Amino acid sequence: MRHGGQGRGVRRRWLLRAGLGLLAVLVLPCAAFLALDRLCPPDLSRLETVGQVVLDREGRVLSALPAPGGVWRLPVGPEEVPTHLVDLLVAAEDRRFRRHPGLDPLALGRAAFQWARAGRVVSGGSTLSMQAARLLEPRPRTLRSKAIEAFRAAQLEWRLGKQGVLRVWLTLAPMGGNLEGVRAGALAWFGRPVERIGVAEAALLVAIPRRPEALRPDRHVLAALAARDAVLRRRGAPALPEPERLAALAEPAPSARHPMPGLAPHLSRELARRAGAAPLRTTLDAGLQRGMEGLARDALRGLPDRASIAIVVADMGSREMRAVVGGEWLAEGRAGALDLTRAIRSPGSALKPLLYAMAFDRGLAAPGSVMEDLPRRFGDWAPENYARGFSGHVTAASALRQSLNLPAVALMEALGPIRFASALKRLGAPPRLPPGAAAALPLALGGAGITLRELVGVTAATGDGGRAGPLRALPGPPGEGEMVVRPQAAEAVAAILTQPFPEGGPEGVAWKTGTSWGGRDAWSVGFDARHVAGVWVGRPDGTAIPGATGRSLALPLLARVFGTLPAAPRPLPAGTAPRQAASGPVDALRLLFPPAGAVIEPGAVTIRAAGGRRPFTFLVDGVPLASGGPRREAGWVPAGPGFYRVTVLDAAGVAASAPVRVRPAE
């Protein structure tokens, strides 16, 4: 009995020792691996040092930006590429990728046997995980490097998993020249995003990294074709119907490299500096952006040296920018690296619509109010109109439409510059004043700095019922936006500004121009029922363009901008004749008597009007007559013989006038 008990004790001790030994065999290597992994973590800096892809609102590529050093290394993961690309990669490079922990003993054994027999490397035996390790930390092809790569492969599998290993390969695989990764390869070799490549194109991207310089299709097209076809015929490649396989094998390889996409270069770089590595989606529209850049490029040909153009187009309701042209990118002599939509410049008269809307909102004036455009001093300041003349008595609507300066300064005096500056700040356009200066009356004529983006945002408030809201380039829910003026006041100004373009363009657009002192900045902003847009023309260095005005330089370009946009016309104010109508509609405001060029006998005259919108104001040489209002006629007694100009204005500010002569008395 004692002997049997001793035997069982011995067996238990042996089993315990064997178990401890087996545990040591299993645990100690794992413990050693974990310790080494903590002491020597893999260097992922190359994977993290990447460029940026900027997308439009539909996910189309707007622009690609290189990584530091000019390398086109763009991040991409396996979930972002077609499944046939990953399937071709695994079939060509590592068929057991899904089943091994980073090292493939069968492949390594085969490679060692072939090396021993041939005395040279016949097959590498590298798994995709080992290739990923080599892409992260390139080393000379030695046995020591292989050992390090094997350890790193296990680390990557442990830390990143299979999807992470694929991400490394897809992002860093060399594609010839300064191209790395399948995203950059697809853009450069096929001119399309990697998400949209076909089977033949995917096979070429899998093949090139084996010998990236020898298989560049722009230099070695036949070798690239042969390597691609070998990938397509590889055992384990995705099963394709025979017609599709034959079609893939028949596809030509690209023979030249496509330029990287570069739309909206200024905005793309601005946003990329604040974003991570993932593709960045914006609110822009790639097609519209391309059109606006082409439009600006065409217009530059007719401008003086060193002049440049900036354009902003946005959706009225959401305030999302759809196109942003900051200038001619990197154009020599035009400060092409500067984003001129963010340059602080004087807006000239382009802020007058907000001034009039605020005045209407506070009852200081109405569209039909008669105002004086006559010489006047405001303290030590005596403003003048751009044309140096004066129009006498005019309605507020006419003063705004003609951009007269004296009525605007008078409104600013009544409203208060501080109140106007506060409204600009609430609209996201705080006026930039000289150091130590306070808001003053010159604000009415552009006496403060503003950017094109801010000016378009201010203009959007007029077109959107007085609602504030900053422009934005990144998607997200729109803000509520406070009301800066009441909708009735904003709509009154919008109706005044809705008029045909002088040199032709789409109907139903409200627009306003601005010219800074000396012709340094030419502006035009406008809106229809859906869009708001702004154009700036000038020299980035601030020097003047002789004779430049917003009406002559910026307004024709704004008309072309709205001609490019989908039509969304605002309703024309009653009494406004469409530009293309030769005789005008029946309700167009017109003078029935006296007709233009009439010779009138001295004595009482009855002036008669037709069409238009009540109430009416009748003027002779800018001086309003006592009668008018809802009536369509007014009495006038000429002061004596001579030439006079008779004018009628309706409630919308539409004018009709005629020059007449009064005979001397017999």
The count of residues in the chain is 666
For the chain, report the end-to-end CA distance as a whole number of angstroms: 162
Out of 93, 328, 454, 507, which one is annotated catalytic?
93
Give 628's pLDDT tier (boundaries 50, 70, 90): low
Interatomic CA distance for residues 552 and 537, integer angstroms: 10
Told to judge if 93 belongs to the known catalytic residues of this protein, a careful annotator would answer yes
Q: What is the pLDDT of residue 662?
A: 86
pLDDT reading at 583 higher than 50: no
Give 113's pLDDT tier (boundaries 50, 70, 90): low
663 or 194, greater pLDDT: 194
pLDDT reading at 122 higher than 50: no
pLDDT reading at 664 higher than 80: yes
Percent of the chain with pLDDT over 90: 61
Secondary structure (3-state) at 142: coil
Task: Tell me whether strands 280-281 and 52-55 are parallel, antiparallel or unpaired.
Answer: parallel
Give 118's pLDDT tier (boundaries 50, 70, 90): low
Give 626's pLDDT tier (boundaries 50, 70, 90): confident
Q: What is the pLDDT of residue 455?
A: 98
Residues 427-449 as b or e (16 or more Cβ within 10 Å = b)? bbbebebeeeeebbbbbbbbbbb
For the segment 52-72, what is each residue's pLDDT rounded down to a tens digit?
Answer: 999 999 999 999 999 999 999
Q: What is the pLDDT of residue 586?
A: 39
Out of 63, 268, 349, 391, which one is annotated catalytic?
349
Low-confidence winner among 91-100, 296-305, 431-440, 566-575 (lowest mean pLDDT): 566-575
26 or 395, greater pLDDT: 395
Among 461, 506, 503, residue whose Cα is nearest residue 483: 461
Determine the angle formed by the axes of helices 128-136 and 83-93, rounding to 10 degrees. Answer: 100
Tokens 């009525």 correspond to: 407
Give 181's pLDDT tier (boundaries 50, 70, 90): very high
pTM of the predicted model as reported, rounded to 2 decimal places: 0.79
Q: What is the pLDDT of residue 540?
A: 94
Q: What is the pLDDT of residue 27?
A: 56
Q: What angle do CA 491, 497, 499 make, to 5 degrees?
A: 125
328 or 583, greater pLDDT: 328
Question: What mean pLDDT do residues 435-447 have?
Answer: 92
Average pLDDT, whole number, for the chain? Answer: 87
Told to judge if 349 belongs to the known catalytic residues of this protein, a careful annotator would answer yes
